[in-house]
A and B are shown apart, each in its own frame.
Chain A
Amino acid sequence: MTTTTTPVTGAINSEWTKFWSVRTTWWSLVSAAVLMLFYAVVVGFSVAYDSEPGMSAAGVVAGGTFYLSQFAVIALSTLFITSEYASGSIRATLQWVPIRNRLLLAKGAVLVPILFVFGVVVAGAGLLVAGLTMQGNAGPMSAGGAVVAMLGLGVYFALLGLLCLGIGTALRSTAGSMVVVFVLLLMLPMVVASLGAEDAVNFFPGFAGVNAMLLPGDLNPIFGGPLPYPPWVGALICAAWSGVALLIGSQVLRKRDA
């Protein structure tokens, strides 16, 4: 028997193998990419034939993320933990990795790099398609703007994955977790905005994620207003939400019987 593998790297290797050995993973990643490209094509052509100069390619990618692409990532990340409870395989998994926080760490360590790279690639493809379809009518975007859009989406997908992992670990149910995530990303900010606190929406994870993909001067593709803060602040806000979700998930995972 080899003894070189530490328990932590073993747990990560195991979760990596599990991640890539179910169809859900492939379907979700393909869906997220297709949804982004679909949005880029549709919005791109509508900008191209508009009389006024439209939004930037980065704005199109941010809109595609918020309205469509992120939902496939939410499903993927939530199912990564809740399918274990649905099938009962959590009891096998915890036999393999009995330290509860080590399991959560391993799942996070698998989600973060995969979703980061995936986000960068999807954003790059979205920028390319949006640029091609908008032709000359695109709003201005610097090279730095393209880099921020790509890194921003990578960071947002990775942090969104952790948010879903934390909530899924705390609630254990697929449907319940997804509802909570949707409420947090969409419904709650809308309610808050309708009550008059419109600036507060930028502190919810979904809007913060969009803001993390755009540079000051870009228009917010959701509201059309100016951006409230630089992209790194958006990333920090997302990280704070994910951190809180993981803390709650970790508490539940350690305290409750499997």
Chain B
Amino acid sequence: MITLRGLTKRYGEKTVVDDLSFAIPAGKVTGFLGPNGAGKSTTMRMVLGLDRPTAGEVVVDGKPYAELRHPLREVGALLEAKALHPGRSAGKHLLAMARSNGIPASRVDEVLATVGLSDVAGKRAGQFSLGMGQRLGIAGALLGDPRVLMFDEPVNGLDPDGVRWVRQLMRSLAAEGRTVFVSSHLMSEMQQTADRLVVIGKGKLLADAPVDEFIADNSRGSVSVRLPSPDDVVTLTQRLHVEGATVEQTDDGEVVVHGMSAERVGDLAHEMEIRLHRLAERTASLEQAYMELTASSVEYGTVAA
């Protein structure tokens, strides 16, 4: 369980993390979403005590990170995979890590085997590919067998097999009752992995809900229509507005209708003798729900600035 209470980080005039309060429960995968610069990494660094909050606090199982006697046995984290000395071998890196928290050296071989890096334990970490670096970072997070795990963009640089492996790993860690907190920019990934979502934009909390509830709350069903004649687009749009629907045009010439069923749009077109080349219901994906939510946060941000 990670608990944030009024967590705030300002750099001079700029507020990067703005009064975040939420709890990340044990036994679930909690996805942490937000556009670039939303404050995700800063939030995670404050959880680990790397950055000092301007206001508020964050505790792990009731304690600030720095007060944990052997922090790696309670919290495992992958923030930046490449945050290691490039000249040190993967095995020595993990060994130094194990020794810092009194973790038996035998755990090093175990976690290297878990992430599939046993064969390259003696290789210098600077020669690792991005994907191998991510695996080494995950090995480090698992080293102390911690009850709380945090991963910042864990599938970055992994091949499809690796992505599937990480997904299964997150699920199994949560199933063992651990707290799993994962940031990602891959919405589809979160949809398949996360139980809960925490969404932030411009440092502010936008949503904190189970995945299903998040999609239901943040998306509207819509209908996409393609018309061969630009004149008809104008005519139909006017009529749809009259009928109370909202209409937007996409870049590829499609018309997206909100607040009306596909049947009703088709009937109206038929009534007006307008030819349609396509009429389809669009179901909301997490991607859309997320885009809609953060798009508005970006707008607010622009106005505020």
Contact = CB atoms under 8 A, between A and B. Distances in A.
Given A7-B69, A95-B71, A95-B77, A258 B85 contact: no
Interface string B64-80: 01101111110001011
A1 B66 contact: no
B127 interface: no
A258 B262 CA distance: 54
Contacts of A10: 70, 99-102
B84 A89 contact: yes
A67 interface: no
Interface string B135-176: 000001000110000000000000000000000000000000
B130 interface: no
B50 A258 contact: yes
Which size class do A's interface residues fall under?
Answer: 35 or more
B102 A21 contact: no
Contacts of A3: 102
A98 interface: yes
Contacts of B49: 94, 98
Nearest to B102: A5
Given A1-B104, A2-B104, A13-B100, A87 B68 contact: no
B89 interface: yes
B123 interface: no
A33 B237 CA distance: 84
B82 interface: yes
A258 B42 CA distance: 11
A21 B89 contact: yes
A1 B102 contact: yes
A173 interface: no
Given A14-B99, A22-B88, A258-B50, A92 B83 contact: yes
Interface residues of B, number: 39
Given A21-B89, A23-B87, A89-B83, A2 B52 contact: no
B99 A98 contact: no
B73 A1 contact: yes
Given A17-B99, A88-B83, A89-B83, A96 B71 contact: yes
B96 A21 contact: yes
Contacts of B92: 17-18, 21
Interface in A213-246: none
A13 B66 CA distance: 19
A205 to B, nearest CB: 28
A87 B83 contact: yes
A10 B105 CA distance: 12
A22 B125 CA distance: 11
10 contacts: A10-B99, A10-B102, A23-B87, A91-B50, A95-B50, A95-B72, A97-B100, A98-B65, A98-B66, A258-B50
Nearest 9 Cβ contacts at the A-B interface: A5-B102, A14-B100, A21-B92, A96-B100, A13-B99, A17-B96, A88-B83, A98-B66, A257-B51
